[in-house]
């Protein structure tokens, strides 16, 4: 008999233990649900105070697609570390290994809540592959398959 996995949430203080990112590149505000070895759902509150909005675009602010992908990757990193049962350290770094099938379906604007859903497709020889979606009001804003890996830094 297997024991069911209980989903857990994470606040910003717990997120900071799992991600080395800090302002202005930290793009996950809260984890709503994480089931190690399966899936994670996270939240990014998109504010007009984001440092990229004055230049992208001043007359019609839109969150850059590359930052939406980065938010999905950060969410995937949390899922990886939770699944491995550890936290990152100063001797390792979490890298993108690939991005496939990235599609952008709607703009993300100030005031939006970006709900990020990531699930594990496979993990082989330390390379993780994820299916990721970012949604606003239930509509897909972006989606991609992400490949990531943890690498040890040389002394």
Alpha-carbon distances of 113 from 93, 110, 154, rounded to whole Å: 28, 9, 39
Task: Write out the E strands in 47-138.
Answer: 92-104, 113-124, 127-136
As a whole number of angstroms, the distance between CA 116 and CA 136 comes to 9
Secondary structure (3-state) at 93:
strand
For this structure, is 13 an active site residue?
A: no
Catalytic residue, from 13, 56, 59, 60: name it: 56
For β-strands 8-10 and 30-35, DSSP reports them as: antiparallel
| Residues recognised as catalytic | 56
């Amino acid at each position: 008999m297997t024991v069911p996995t209980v989903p857990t949430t994470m606040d910003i203080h717990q997120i900071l233990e799992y991600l080395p990112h800090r302002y202005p590149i930290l793009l996950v505000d809260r984890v709503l649900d994480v089931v190690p070895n399966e899936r994670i759902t996270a939240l990014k509150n998109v504010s007009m105070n984001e440092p990229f909005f004055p230049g992208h675009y001043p007359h019609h602010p839109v969150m850059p697609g590359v930052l939406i992908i980065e938010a999905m990757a950060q969410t995937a990193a949390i899922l990886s570390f939770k699944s491995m049962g550890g936290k990152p350290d100063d001797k390792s770094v979490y890298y993108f290994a690939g991005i496939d099938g990235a599609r952008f379906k709607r703009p993300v604007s100030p005031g939006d809540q970006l709900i990020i859903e990531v699930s594990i497709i496979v993990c082989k020889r330390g390379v993780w592959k994820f299916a990721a979606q970012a949604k606003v009001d239930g509509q897909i804003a972006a989606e991609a398959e992400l490949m990531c890996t943890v690498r040890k830094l040389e002394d």
